[in-house]
Amino acid sequence: MNNAPDTGLLVITASNGENLKLADRFATHAKAFGQNAEVLDLTRIDLPLFTPRAQDCGIPAAVAPLQQQLMNTARWVICAPEYNGSIPPSLTNAIAWLSVQGEDFRSLFNGRPIAIATFSGGGGMELLLSLRIQLTHLGAQVVGRQLLSNYAKPPKDESITDLLQRLLQMTPLAL
């Protein structure tokens, strides 16, 4: 799997609101486990909307450092809100740009352990289902447990800890 090291954790957020706060909590909890944890806020990355025409204009400068950061971290947590019953545009767009790098669109995701979580103003379940389907299609090992939270059901420290423990026990697959 892309020679990613078997240490460290990247917590990716596709929102600068409650999911960024949730991502920060995951990073804090991971550090309590002795993990090197970093938060990646996709809303701060300047990526144009992916289209075949945009791709014909060349790869945006922001893609290479993003891809390198993702490749260099063995495990990810993705914290994203539900947008219109699915995955938020910032996350879908980043995945689209990353999947057209190289010959194998799955190479960045294949065999990689990933946990998914949401703090959603809506239900959140459609996001978790859609994201699980997409990540599994890309070859990722998605943790069986997920975290669904909202204002009526705030995320619990015990749930974050349990999800991280499950993720950290997973070994990236060498493909």
Domain boundaries, the chain: 12-169
Evaluate if pTM is beyond 0.75. Answer: yes
**Which residue(s) pair with 115 in the sheet?**
77
pLDDT at 55: 79
Distance separating alpha carbons of residues 124 and 83, to the nearest angstrom = 9
pLDDT at 110: 93
Count of Cβ atoms closer than 10 Å to residue 7 Cβ: 12
How far is the first Cα of the chain from the last one, in angstroms, to the nearest whole number?
A: 5
pLDDT at 105: 81
Fold of domain 12-169: Rossmann fold (3.40.50)
Distance separating alpha carbons of residues 26 and 171, to the nearest angstrom = 19
pLDDT (tens place) for every residue of the chain, 175 residues total? 444 444 689 999 999 999 999 999 999 999 999 999 999 999 999 999 998 888 788 889 999 999 999 999 999 999 999 999 999 999 999 999 998 887 878 889 999 999 999 999 888 999 999 999 999 999 999 999 999 999 999 999 999 999 999 999 999 987 6
Distance separating alpha carbons of residues 61 and 52, to the nearest angstrom = 17
Task: Provide the 3-class DSSP secondary structure of residue 149.
Answer: strand
Task: Provide the 3-class DSSP secondary structure of residue 142.
Answer: strand
